[in-house]
Structure 1
């Protein structure tokens, strides 16, 4: 007697053999389904291997930061002991920043003092500076390090040439050579240096391939530049020093780290990162609270990113199942005679289901093997390009066998799920209907629409709950998928409702619509497949468009539209400003140019808050009674109870300054042309400037019609006074001003002094730039020409032109729309093509009764167009829900981040959070037109003009 297991085993073996034979016989259809299932597997396996390989282990990351040393000791610039996290990512002074007050007369302890006794060290110094290149000036990091010492191994990777051997020799990153137009053997001169250096080799930083950097031996690059700058009176370099340390024994322990912290140094230790101390042994956590370093502010975008990935992946798998489903359904109908013979020879429904399911199993298994192999091979082949794209070298190819196996199993399940519904449908066919080819008449399923409605409502509720009340990417993805499955379940009912529109259509589309309604078993899977493709497109497009609307709302213009600003970022380059102004007028279509200058005290080459000899400045003094108490207190807002602080923030004195992000000047010297460029039309302000009277745009600066300018000549005393909230020392100049009417937009400028007023007050000025307006938009060629001319000046001159919100993701959204449109049209073509193949008998019947070729083409085109149109309409509705869920997830995350920032005292919400949900109507309109039209034209083109008469099936 045969056991049930043996019977089950042999029946499935037979089913697999039949499925394999049928798949080989119908190579075209099998290849189509195989490709649909394998493509996501290729992408998933490639992404998995890429992300895992790019994710460095802690020791790999440390080797790229500290080389072969035990630790890296860095200066913090604080003149007090600090407390730090074990991983060295955050630190705070003992007592917290709220109580920390720097002492201008006290210098930080030498970094060398933080090195343990007997430890071996190698010094590393870095500074940012502009370097002369073939194109002009390039922001570059200069680094000094003994590249021949074993400690440096791992920090950089030599590529070509040799290492520097002494003064006058440097090596450059490959990114610097690419951006600068230089090469190994070229001479390079950092700005301020009196002698060029020769590039003797190239290298790369494994964790930052895009960094522009020059590397030299200690004492050969930074010190000569500093000396040359000091000779010209210019400020020196801002050099950051650090030490690579070899402590020996157990390495640089946590106790050593705390000893270095006591001397104001920050430590990144290999031993501490590998074996971090308990939270109770971290003084920083006891002082600040660990939550301060683990709140949502440190995980910006994490939940939204997870929700987006989970939703897109879920919808992609659902789309594959629904796209492959019609293919299996067509295959089952093409094999119905064979399935009927199985039933006639004693096979029951489970055997027929097994045969159809085996087709999904066979194709899914092959797709899994091919997809995973292709994904791995693709990652290995594209590894250099991928590393360049993400800007990080892999630590090695990290194969996660379980993850790749999970992706393969997912492909197998996808094939089974895609074949499930066709298997059930095929098993319900009677033997007589299968052998004769008759499909019979099936009553509409009344339970399926009810289940569909419940699935739509339940899925929407789950997605909204997962995004609104409990931030969970899994719930958002599961709810969106369930709602889309509900729409799929409603598809037969909705197809019937679409059929009622046929009475108003011409003959061919009416016949196509009635045929689609009459054959719902054939139409519904095709519509569902198009629905899934369109839903994914609409979901992603809606999400991207909503983000663009939010960014447009949050965008703050720096100048009136079409206006611009030429400015120097380095005060020592003020001699080049007049030449730069003339280049501007010659190159761009300038309508009005307003030359502007800055007020100067002492050395005009000093930075705004320089502390060198002769470095003074001019401060606009706000009257005491008009100052904000929140910022006058010793510890700022922390000195006030929360309720009082909240009330004071509503005080006009504490309102944020009208100075806009990116605006360069608060007090400026210019004539009335400036108001013309800034679109300030107040007649009183224009008349005042013409008459030589200053104009103020901030009422808090003015008292009794006058403003006070204080000439600060002792920068050290000024810094000390600022630290103790004392009055700045200096000489006051009181000027009568014209107060501009409230509400006039000054675009960040607070006070405008005409040149005659500055001269009368005895305050020197220096050129700093020019505001300008254009007659017409500057072309790309004009901008490039101007940038080239300014680069040849060798001055740090910046030109900005306000063009309004441009949308940083415009190109990405366009690429997404094109790609999604092609995928959607392709899905529509596949689904409707399969439906057309299934209705081939109808076309042959038309040929038999004498229908002209044009009629057959037209009918075929309208059949596919009707299916595609129904899929697009339903998919557009289904795709809105995931986008809504993603945006609500993002809103909750941003709100949590904002509340955390307020609780920690980092910021105060100045306006309500704005996270809109905007539907891209232009994208939907394009889908509604292009997809059905493309499917109809494609079907009409591929339909044969003359079809052979169908042969009568053998009895």
Structure 2
């Protein structure tokens, strides 16, 4: 035992001396191992800190409360313990529908455990016509909430970021998202609860965060101080008829847990309950969980598989990059190892020395990287929390993750060092001590590369086959692509041998470099494979993001030409329509752009609470003629002909042609003429009947009676839209209102400035229009903005860095082993620049071969990823189909740039002069 311990101690002393004597090479291996371990260590801390467990979710949903209750149904129900699955076998409506929320709350209180009470939350959605403040920016809707969040029973649900909680009427706090838009403590808010109530002034006294406050624009006040009681005074059935967006939820607070039996009792009155006690210890339950719960579990499994596969590919990349560097050390240390063998060291001792030296490098670098990565991850989470990212539940550092990363980094280096260690153990000691060079890797053994090609083909087939349907499994796709890449890596040696046989027409330096690379495959194949893997991953990413950019550009629906200003009036179906004007808004626009440059369109007026719908009937036997979509007919009898559509301006519009002229940028002269002649302009062939008419169903309904009544069909002359861009809805001529039996009111304003507005001008114009009280939306067309330009540049930089590292670790070894060859060439008359040209050629050969293979395989992988993204829209329109796009400028930059850069670096960093080598004698 003592002898074995002494032997291992001696081996590690030798390993440490080897590391000290080759600090540059050791540092190179350490950096290659440390960088991915450091990156994954940071990701581990950030990911685990952002992953919500059950306790985090419960705290975000209900704070310290025992349960959350929602009034889900008007009859008894059954629910799963997690409240994800709900079912009922009762079809008769009970008396529950006659209760209003307050009455239902009183009923619900009788089903609670002893000592518990209900804490209600009430909220509704409002728009910018009801809530305004000085300097407000753009927002579509706002939540007005009443909730006593200071109650100790819900501690932890809402975080007081600044200020204090409201304690009287007229005081509110705001969500942190609203605070980020410029509203702060002390600000005054003008609030109109309903059309029948006068405006009131609210004072902001604080800012809060929480599960909803970090993503929802909201103001919160004391119970009974903000929302009009008529929102909640109606019974459940009456409220559903009016489609009021007014919600009441209850939190159960108190010392007693809400048991499964309590949940089932509350189910009898249509309540769905999420109980802390039940979720923490769920009972056995016969009803299957909701389908989306299974989907969530499956999604988590898919995510775990994808993360594992990507981590494996990263470690493979590390092995490929570190392999040539380890080979450099083993080859340069051959003489020392030969001396050890001559002194009596066995083959196993030599193998252990090589493994120990590299294992120590991997272990130390992995430990340091894990420690540093953990500190960086902690700093990142601390910064995110400091900057207000309250969606992070906690700081979570897991020692098991870090130990796993250290083990993975160390094992990766050890596995990579196995081949050099075996070669060192089998070396010819006499030949090494006399200075004779190795003869190379020998002939290609076909079994491994042919197996690699078969594996690559199988992986690609799995990935492609998985993407054939409308619903694909991302884990299978990523796994198939990973197998495809591993198979290509296995076949690199054969590809290099084939390339070396086809170099006869090339200059001498390139022939020498390629044949030397083929002869010394043990050191060059990992480098070529590393370049291949890096370029393939980067190319796949480039193809994917270029295709995504193209898809977004094609599907982007502009409001009009760049700079267009479109102003929407108050929605007559939502707001008080007794007075529907745009005179003040039109004056603001006229002062800014000139009265002759502003056009107004009309919409249907809602009189006495009666709303009107206009729905063109589908033409008989229509097959969607003219549609560019691949599926012109479907079971829904709907045509998707929106490929050239602009953004809608809201509702059915009536126009004399002036608005359409501006919106279409003057490209729809025939449409404008048709409107002026009294014809309807329809966007889809399905709306146009054979006699060039449109049959419009005119339906009327009220909020109290939402079912359509008084439906009549009116026939109007019509034409199909012909402009380069068309509106997605029909445009009616003004004179059609009389035939349709409707009255019109101003609906909006449009103008096309001669020069696009700057951001400050847009803000000033929006504020001026908001102050008129006649506007619900202001839209300024900015055109499509590139989304992935920085991503593409980052990918190019990463690909270039990894590929060059892999190239020059192999070039360094090649240069060390080619000294005798270069000296021999110099002795027979070769010029001093030969060594530089050889180094440049070796860099170009390795980078060029790996880059070519990587671009081809990466493009194939990118094609598979595009197929994976296609099902999102393939059933509906060509706009939704992802097209396979090759970003040629970026790919040519990789194909030509990497080999040229590698050659240039090799040429300018290599000394031209080298002393003649002599053979060492024994």
Query: What band does the TM-score fall into relative to the shorter chain?
Result: 0.7 to 0.9
- Please report how far the alpha carbon of residue 39 of structure 1 lies from its aligned counterpart in structure 2 after TM superposition: 1.5
Moved more, 498-507 or 331-340: 498-507
Equivalent residue number for residue 557 of structure 1:
557
Equivalent residue number for residue 145 of structure 1:
147
Counterpart CA distance in 2 for 1:693 and 1:617 is: 24
Counterpart CA distance in 1 for 2:505 and 2:609 is: 84
Moved more, 313-322 or 502-511: 502-511
Equivalent residue number for residue 201 of structure 1:
206
Listed as ranges, the gaps of 5+ residues in structure 1 are 228-234, 603-613, 629-645, 723-727, 899-907
- Please report how far the alpha carbon of residue 120 of structure 1 lies from its aligned counterpart in structure 2 after TM superposition: 1.3
Secondary structure of the equivalent of 1:438?
Answer: coil
1:488-531, CA deviations, whole angstroms, 9 ceiling, x for partnerless residues? 44434433433345443345545544554555444333323322
Among 615, 618, 625, the residue aligned to 2:612: 618
Counterpart CA distance in 2 for 1:658 and 1:473 is: 29
- Please report how far the alpha carbon of residue 839 of structure 1 lies from its aligned counterpart in structure 2 after TM superposition: 4.1
Taking a change above 3 Å as real, the CA distance of residues 242 and 682 of structure 1, as seen in their structure-2 partners, is closer
Secondary structure of the equivalent of 2:207?
Answer: strand
Equivalent residue number for residue 250 of structure 2:
243
Checking the alignment, whether the CA contact within 8 Å between 1:146 and 1:152 is kept in structure 2 is no
Equivalent residue number for residue 227 of structure 2:
222
Secondary structure of the equivalent of 2:252?
Answer: strand
Counterpart CA distance in 2 for 1:544 and 1:303 is: 25
Checking the alignment, whether the CA contact within 8 Å between 1:173 and 1:213 is kept in structure 2 is yes
Equivalent residue number for residue 56 of structure 1:
52
- Please report how far the alpha carbon of residue 204 of structure 1 lies from its aligned counterpart in structure 2 after TM superposition: 2.0
Taking a change above 3 Å as real, the CA distance of residues 673 and 935 of structure 1, as seen in their structure-2 partners, is same
Secondary structure of the equivalent of 2:653?
Answer: strand
Counterpart CA distance in 2 for 1:649 and 1:525 is: 53
Equivalent residue number for residue 435 of structure 1:
433
1:416-441, CA deviations, whole angstroms, 9 ceiling, x for partnerless residues? 02212221222232002221332232
Equivalent residue number for residue 87 of structure 1:
82
Checking the alignment, whether the CA contact within 8 Å between 1:69 and 1:245 is kept in structure 2 is yes
Among 253, 263, 281, the residue aligned to 1:257: 263
Checking the alignment, whether the CA contact within 8 Å between 1:454 and 1:486 is kept in structure 2 is yes
Counterpart CA distance in 2 for 1:913 and 1:692 is: 35
Residue 690 (structure 1) aligned with residue 676 (structure 2): yes
Counterpart CA distance in 2 for 1:763 and 1:829 is: 78
Residue 863 (structure 1) aligned with residue 842 (structure 2): yes
- Aligned ranges for residues 105-504 of structure 1 at < 5 Å? 110-116=104-110, 119-129=116-126, 130=128, 131-138=132-139, 139-180=141-182, 182-190=183-191, 194-205=199-210, 209-223=214-228, 238-246=245-253, 248-249=255-256, 251-280=257-286, 282=287, 285=288, 290=289, 292-294=291-293, 296=295, 305-306=303-304, 308-387=306-385, 391-442=389-440, 444-447=442-445, 449-462=446-459, 464-465=461-462, 468=465, 480-481=481-482, 483-500=484-501, 502-504=503-505
Taking a change above 3 Å as real, the CA distance of residues 750 and 95 of structure 1, as seen in their structure-2 partners, is farther
Equivalent residue number for residue 40 of structure 1:
36
Counterpart CA distance in 2 for 1:101 and 1:627 is: 46
Checking the alignment, whether the CA contact within 8 Å between 1:590 and 1:773 is kept in structure 2 is no
How does the TM-score come out when normalised to structure 2?
0.82
Counterpart CA distance in 2 for 1:789 and 1:841 is: 81
Counterpart CA distance in 2 for 1:792 and 1:132 is: 10
Higher helix share: 1
Counterpart CA distance in 2 for 1:881 and 1:7 is: 56
- Please report how far the alpha carbon of residue 871 of structure 1 lies from its aligned counterpart in structure 2 after TM superposition: 1.7
Counterpart CA distance in 2 for 1:105 and 1:762 is: 37
1:453-512, CA deviations, whole angstroms, 9 ceiling, x for partnerless residues? 212212431453367369887776665555544444443443343334544334554554
Taking a change above 3 Å as real, the CA distance of residues 239 and 835 of structure 1, as seen in their structure-2 partners, is farther
Counterpart CA distance in 2 for 1:212 and 1:404 is: 39
Aligned-residue Cα RMSD (Å) equals: 4.6
Secondary structure of the equivalent of 1:716?
Answer: coil
Taking a change above 3 Å as real, the CA distance of residues 520 and 110 of structure 1, as seen in their structure-2 partners, is closer
- Please report how far the alpha carbon of residue 103 of structure 1 lies from its aligned counterpart in structure 2 after TM superposition: 13
- Please report how far the alpha carbon of residue 738 of structure 1 lies from its aligned counterpart in structure 2 after TM superposition: 1.0
Equivalent residue number for residue 230 of structure 1:
none
Taking a change above 3 Å as real, the CA distance of residues 543 and 834 of structure 1, as seen in their structure-2 partners, is farther
Checking the alignment, whether the CA contact within 8 Å between 1:558 and 1:663 is kept in structure 2 is no
Equivalent residue number for residue 901 of structure 1:
none
Checking the alignment, whether the CA contact within 8 Å between 1:601 and 1:712 is kept in structure 2 is no
Counterpart CA distance in 2 for 1:377 and 1:262 is: 52
1:356-403, CA deviations, whole angstroms, 9 ceiling, x for partnerless residues? 111221111112211221222112222123457994454444444433
Among 668, 673, 685, the residue aligned to 2:653: 668
Secondary structure of the equivalent of 2:124?
Answer: strand
Counterpart CA distance in 1 for 2:497 and 2:615 is: 77
- Please report how far the alpha carbon of residue 918 of structure 1 lies from its aligned counterpart in structure 2 after TM superposition: 5.0
Taking a change above 3 Å as real, the CA distance of residues 655 and 279 of structure 1, as seen in their structure-2 partners, is farther
Q: How many residues align?
A: 878
Counterpart CA distance in 2 for 1:514 and 1:110 is: 85
Counterpart CA distance in 2 for 1:859 and 1:648 is: 64
1:686-736, CA deviations, whole angstroms, 9 ceiling, x for partnerless residues? 54532445555676597995756747474423x1x34xxxxx048x6x765
Among 746, 764, 771, the residue aligned to 1:767: 746
- Aligned ranges for residues 572-611 of structure 1 at < 5 Å? 572=575, 577-578=582-583, 580=585, 594-602=599-607
Equivalent residue number for residue 911 of structure 2:
944
Checking the alignment, whether the CA contact within 8 Å between 1:560 and 1:679 is kept in structure 2 is yes
Checking the alignment, whether the CA contact within 8 Å between 1:466 and 1:473 is kept in structure 2 is no
Among 704, 707, 716, the residue aligned to 2:704: 716
Listed as ranges, the gaps of 5+ residues in structure 2 are 233-241, 623-630
Checking the alignment, whether the CA contact within 8 Å between 1:164 and 1:200 is kept in structure 2 is yes
Counterpart CA distance in 2 for 1:127 and 1:446 is: 73
- Please report how far the alpha carbon of residue 550 of structure 1 lies from its aligned counterpart in structure 2 after TM superposition: 5.5
Among 892, 896, 901, the residue aligned to 1:925: 892
Taking a change above 3 Å as real, the CA distance of residues 656 and 446 of structure 1, as seen in their structure-2 partners, is closer
Secondary structure of the equivalent of 1:797?
Answer: strand
Residue 799 (structure 1) aligned with residue 779 (structure 2): yes
Counterpart CA distance in 2 for 1:491 and 1:271 is: 58
Checking the alignment, whether the CA contact within 8 Å between 1:531 and 1:872 is kept in structure 2 is yes
- Please report how far the alpha carbon of residue 323 of structure 1 lies from its aligned counterpart in structure 2 after TM superposition: 0.6
Counterpart CA distance in 1 for 2:38 and 2:747 is: 56
Checking the alignment, whether the CA contact within 8 Å between 2:75 and 2:269 is kept in structure 1 is yes
How does the TM-score come out when normalised to structure 1?
0.79
Counterpart CA distance in 1 for 2:701 and 2:465 is: 57
Among 719, 730, 735, the residue aligned to 1:740: 719
Checking the alignment, whether the CA contact within 8 Å between 1:627 and 1:700 is kept in structure 2 is no
Taking a change above 3 Å as real, the CA distance of residues 668 and 912 of structure 1, as seen in their structure-2 partners, is closer
Counterpart CA distance in 1 for 2:690 and 2:98 is: 35
Checking the alignment, whether the CA contact within 8 Å between 1:592 and 1:772 is kept in structure 2 is yes
1:69-93, CA deviations, whole angstroms, 9 ceiling, x for partnerless residues? 21122344x5555554432346567
Taking a change above 3 Å as real, the CA distance of residues 577 and 829 of structure 1, as seen in their structure-2 partners, is farther
Secondary structure of the equivalent of 1:375?
Answer: helix
